Amino acid sequence: MLTRIGFIGLGIMGRPMARNLLQAGFEVMVHSRTRSRMEDLVAAGARPGESPREVAAASEVVITMVPDTPDVQSVMLGPAGVIEGAHDRLIAIDMSTISPSVTQQIAAALAERGIRALDAPVSGGETGAIAGTLTIMVGGAAEVFTECQPVLAAMGRRVTYIGPSGHGQIAKMCNQVVGVLTLEAVAEGLVLAAKAGVDVPRVIEALSAGSADSWNLRHQGPRMLARDFKAGFFVHLQQKDLRLVMELANGLQVPLPGTALVQQLLGSVEAAGGRALGVQALVQALERLASTTVGGR
């Protein structure tokens, strides 16, 4: 049974995920470029690691949760990276959202050093990371997935094996398409309700009991109404994900007109200074177009 886990990347998602591994009884070593992010986890029983190489050398499984493709490449393959801490039976699990093709390249490079790799991106945002209820989509060898299931189950409620290396990332791209289009639909509906002068909270209540119900309606709709744009997932990271989605779709010659529209609307939010807002700030772009406001004064 795998017991020694390394965790690299302690941002808005990584820190609670690492904490859940500690609470599940795993021995955890953590590393972050920002050392202060390690302090509360070390106080809770984790060991600090000076580099990805040190974390990998001390672990049976090393998990990365960092912002973008170049970050994963650096942590896994760069100087003092995970690859330099290679040892028999080491498993590397990247839970970031990155390029599927680069995921496959990284997995191949790690395999040359005997490191088995999984890509296991997540959905559920900060709330799911804290509660340990993330949806986890996994690519890689089926036998490695089976071996790592108890580790993944400590962080997620639904852990699904998708297929070979890179397929977890492709599933995450599909998740982002469905998620942003649902969010955009919620924002459009609430902007229409606000402009028409109806009671927006009652509209949310009514729609959430019918065929228009969704997680975004029930969770992000009230945030839009309350003008709560605190990030559970940042606009700029959603834009990074949509860039990856469009790269994949363009390579496959799959038109995604709705997704492209949301990318442009979020670009409007970024241009207005909303890069670090939560993705529910998408409503602001539609409010500007309609000269109205959902909630607030």
Instruction: Write out the catalytic residue numbers.
Output: 172
Is 247 in contact with 99 (CB distance < 8 Å)?
yes
CA 165 to chain centroid: 18
Is 122 in contact with 156 (CB distance < 8 Å)?
yes
- Residues paired with 93 in a beta bridge: 63, 118
Give the integer Cα–Cα distance in Å for 95 and 103. 11
Token reading at 210:
């019918």
Residue recorded with tokens 């390690």: 38
DSSP codes joined into one string, 194-215? HHHT--HHHHHHHHTTSTT--H
Helix, strand, coil content of the chain in percent (nearest 5): 55, 15, 30
Where are the alpha helices (H) located in 154-234, listed in sequence order?
167-196, 200-207, 215, 221-226
Is 9 in contact with 87 (CB distance < 8 Å)?
no
Rg (CA), the chain: 20
In the three-class reduction of DSSP (H, G, I as helix; E, B as strand; rest coil), residue 295 is classed as coil
Give the residue among 88, 93, 1, 10 at the shortest CA–CA distance from 49.
Answer: 10
Neighbours of 182 (CB within 10 A): 16
